[in-house]
Amino acid sequence: MTTALHGVSKTFGPVAALCDLTLELRPGELTALLGPNGAGKTTALSLLLGLAAPTSGRVEVLGGDPRRPEIRARIGSMPQESAIPTGLTVREAVTLFASFYPAPLSVDRALALADLGSVAGRRAGQLSGGQKRRLAFALAVVGNPDLLLIDEPTTGMDAASRAAFWQAVGALKAQGRTILLTTHYLEEAEKVADRVLILSGGRMLAGGTPDHLRAGVRGARVSFCSGLSLAQLRGLPGVTDAALENGRAELHTDTPEDLLAALVRSGTAFDELEVTRATLEEAYLRLTSAV
C-alpha cells in the first residue's frame, strides 16, 4: 500500500513547481510537509489527490493511481478552504459526504471524531471559523480514508479544539492510516509529526524525524540568573552570543556542557537554569535561508 512520489516534476508553463521530487508516506505515520510560500506543497497535495497529473515521474497512492475512482474513494482531504454547502446542517453535510463513499464511518462517529456533536443541528453557514475547520475534518474522515491529507488544519481553532483535533488524528494514525500534514505552524509540526519533509523551490531540502532535523543545528540556548556582568558572560568558554536582561543571562553556545562545567568551577552562584536545544523552527529557518 505504498504512497509515494517517484521522481515527480510538475511545471506550469515556465514555472517548475516540483523538480524530480521523490518522497514516501508510511502507514501509521504522520508526515509533515513544510516549506516556504511557493515551495510546491499544494502542488504535491494536488498530485496525491489525483487532481493534476505530473509532467514527468510517477504518483503512487495506496499502491495505485490516485486518478482511479477506487483509489480516490480511499483518500480523505481537508483543504485550507473548503466549499461547504452553507444551507445544510452539520449532520446533513456529513450524511451527504458519507453517501459518496463505499464504506463510510457512521455519521455519529465522524461527528464525534470532529467534536461536533453539540452543533450537529446548526447550519454550516452559521458556524464559527474553528467549527468550520472541524466540519471540514468531519467531511475528510467520514469516508473512512486510508490516506488523509490535512492542509493547515488548525487555523482558527481554539486551544481546546486543537488538542481534541490532534487526539482524533492520533487515533486515526494508531489505526494505521497514512497522514500528510502541510502547515506553516512549525511548533505544531514539531509536536505531532513522526517525520518532517522540507521542500524548497520544488525540491527536497531535508527530511527526517523532528529530533533528527533539530540535531542538525549545533548548539543550545543556556539561560540562568547570576551576578555576572555581560563582559564576564561573554568570557565564559564557547559562548557565541550573550545577552543580559533583568539579571537573566541568555547565552548561545555550541558546547553547553563545557560552559556549565566552567560556570560551576568558577564558584559563581546561579539559579533558574534552563538549557534548550534548537527547535524545529530554528532548524527550518537555517535550512531554508541557506538556499
Give me the residues that bind ligand ATP (CB under 6 A), please.
Answer: 12, 15, 17, 35, 37-43
Minimum CB separation of residue 201 from ligand ATP in Å reads: 9
Q: How far apart are CA 201 and CA 60, in angstroms?
A: 22
Select from 137, 145, 114, 143 the least CA-distant residue to 27.
Answer: 145
Place of cell 543571562: 249
Nearer to ligand ATP, 37 or 246 (CB): 37
- 267: amino acid identity, one letter: G
Nearer to ligand ATP, 35 or 143 (CB): 35
Nearer to ligand ATP, 145 or 202 (CB): 202
Minimum CB separation of residue 51 from ligand ATP in Å reads: 11
Q: How far apart are CA 153 and CA 207, in angstroms?
A: 21
Nearer to ligand ATP, 38 or 219 (CB): 38
Within 8 A by CB and 6+ apart from 3, the residues are 24, 25, 48, 60, 61, 62, 147, 178
Nearer to ligand ATP, 182 or 253 (CB): 182
Q: 178-182 and 15-25: which strand pairing?
A: unpaired
Do residues 181 and 31 lie in contact, with contact meaning Cβ atoms separated by under 8 Å?
yes
Minimum CB separation of residue 27 from ligand ATP in Å reads: 24
Minimum CB separation of residue 16 from ligand ATP in Å reads: 8
Nearer to ligand ATP, 21 or 30 (CB): 21
Nearer to ligand ATP, 161 or 200 (CB): 200
Minimum CB separation of residue 38 from ligand ATP in Å reads: 4
Three-state SS string across 7-39, please?
EEEEEECCEEEEEEEEEEECCCCEEEEECCCCC
Place of cell 475512482: 69
Minimum CB separation of residue 96 from ligand ATP in Å reads: 28
Minimum CB separation of residue 64 from ligand ATP in Å reads: 23
Nearer to ligand ATP, 17 or 233 (CB): 17
Within 8 A by CB and 6+ apart from 81, the residues are none
Minimum CB separation of residue 17 from ligand ATP in Å reads: 3
Q: 195-200 and 30-34: which strand pairing?
A: parallel
Q: How far apart are CA 109 and CA 80, in angstroms?
A: 23
Burial per residue of 271-281, b for 16 or more beta-carbon CB atoms within 10 angstroms, e otherwise: eeeeeeebbbe
Q: What angle do CA 194, 169, 131 make, to 5 degrees?
A: 135
